[in-house]
Amino acid sequence: MTGEPFLSIRNLTVGFGAGGAIRAVRDVSFDLEAGKTLCLVGESGSGKSVTATSIMGLHKPGSAHVEAATMRLDGINLLECDEREMSRLRGSLMAMIFQDPMSSLNPALTIGFQLREALLLHEKMSTRAANARVMEVLQRVRIPDAARRMSAYPHQLSGGMRQRIMIAMALICRPRLLIADEPTTALDVTVQAQILWLLSELQREFGTAIIFITHDLGVVAEIADDVAVMYAGSLVERGPVHAIFENPAHGYTAGLLRATAEFVPGEPSRGRLEEIPGNVPSFSMLPQGCSFVERCRFAVDSCHRRTPDWRDVTFGHASRCDQPVAYGPTANLTVEVSA
């Protein structure tokens, strides 16, 4: 369909437990264009990873109840795909990089075998051709002495190198959507910068659309085109990265920025950190009204009574908040976003 976003999600809800009663993701909607990066931001347990695994169809049968009005990728209705079709799409059209490579790589198999297996599964090519592609991809992700590394096992590689292997595995069949679930969290800042640069370089070369899941706003400022902020299973704000950073329109987003204090990407944080009081509520005991109401310093009576509707702040920037004017520009913050 002409003009249709590359990835379009509408009203995604994911429940666990009997009848899906515990909803870990509620009414999530966003679009992603080809070649762009959407950063999905929020505290641990906010529903970011569940959103990603639902798009990938990675929940075990019967473990999750997934509903959505729309879940389309490159014109394909993912809601109508059975497990065989989803298995075909994973790796070929879409792929995912996980936070911990050691839990994703098989410790008993060599790196070369694991990369080659994906190619033989999704593409009709000889073992010789598959080995050549593996070598090409390993060199592309800057693995030194790639021929020797093909016969290595995961435990014989450094953390940064294992993460590069995961990126290689995700990109081996040249997918058009890449979901990266906090792939740099456990890495030191130097290796993290190298991984981010590598993803950006590969995106420019192949036009890959990326969903990057993180809680690190410095990373967001470096790589994002658009940002979607999640809290307690729901999106609370979404828009272009410049708009979100310069004019947050939800109390939670403003709190995240204040907790980051003054920062310039690539430099140490400066200034006093300002924490968000309280804790994220349990999915089974969400407060009435806005889910952030008990932690929000700007809350008014209406925030306790009803769940706010989406409000347009500026073009492409929307917030689910009844008090968007309360936050204004991020006063006392110096936030430099990469062009």
Residue-range domains of the chain with CATH: 34-58+82-93+176-326 (3.40.50.300), 101-174 (no CATH)
Query: Which of 275, 274, 230, 281 lies closest to 253, judged by CA?
Result: 230
Distance CA 323, CA 236 (A): 12
| pLDDT(249) > 90 | yes
| pLDDT(171) > 90 | no
pLDDT number for residue 159:
84
**pTM of the model as a whole:** 0.88
Distance CA 57, CA 97 (A): 14
Distance CA 279, CA 293 (A): 11
Mean per-residue pLDDT, 68-75: 96
Mean per-residue pLDDT, 126-150: 90
Among 29-33, 60-64, 157-161, top mean pLDDT goes to 29-33
Query: Which of 150, 148, 64, 156 lies closest to 101, judged by CA?
Result: 156
pLDDT number for residue 271:
57
Query: Exposed (0-12), middle (13-18) or buried (19+): which is 339, by Cβ within 10 Å?
Result: exposed
pLDDT number for residue 39:
97
Mean per-residue pLDDT, 47-59: 95
| pLDDT(213) > 50 | yes
Q: Give percent of the chain with pLDDT exceeding 70.
A: 91
Give the pLDDT band (50/70/90) at residue 332: very low
Give the pLDDT band (50/70/90) at residue 330: low
The answer to whether 327 and 297 are in contact (CB under 8 A) is no
Distance CA 47, CA 215 (A): 12
| pLDDT(142) > 90 | no
pLDDT number for residue 328:
62
The answer to whether 176 and 94 are in contact (CB under 8 A) is yes
Distance CA 88, CA 68 (A): 21
Within 10 angstroms of residue 139's Cβ, the number of other Cβ atoms is 13
Return the minimum-mean-pLDDT range out of 29-43, 119-133, 300-314, 320-334: 320-334
| pLDDT(306) > 50 | yes
Distance CA 296, CA 248 (A): 14
Which ranges of the chain does DSSP label H, i.e. alpha helix?
A: 48-56, 83-92, 101-104, 111-122, 127-140, 146-149, 159-171, 189-206, 217-223, 241-246, 251-260, 301-305
Q: Give percent of the chain with pLDDT exceeding 90.
A: 50
* The token pair that represents 77 in the structure block: 């209705």
| pLDDT(2) > 70 | no
What is the per-residue pLDDT across 278-302, written as a single tens digit (0 to 9) for each? 888 888 888 999 999 999 988 888 8
Q: What is the overall mean pLDDT for the chain?
A: 87
Distance CA 226, CA 60 (A): 30
What is the per-residue pLDDT across 79-130, written as a single tens digit (0 to 9) for each? 999 999 999 899 889 999 987 777 789 999 999 999 998 888 888 788 899 9
pLDDT number for residue 119:
87
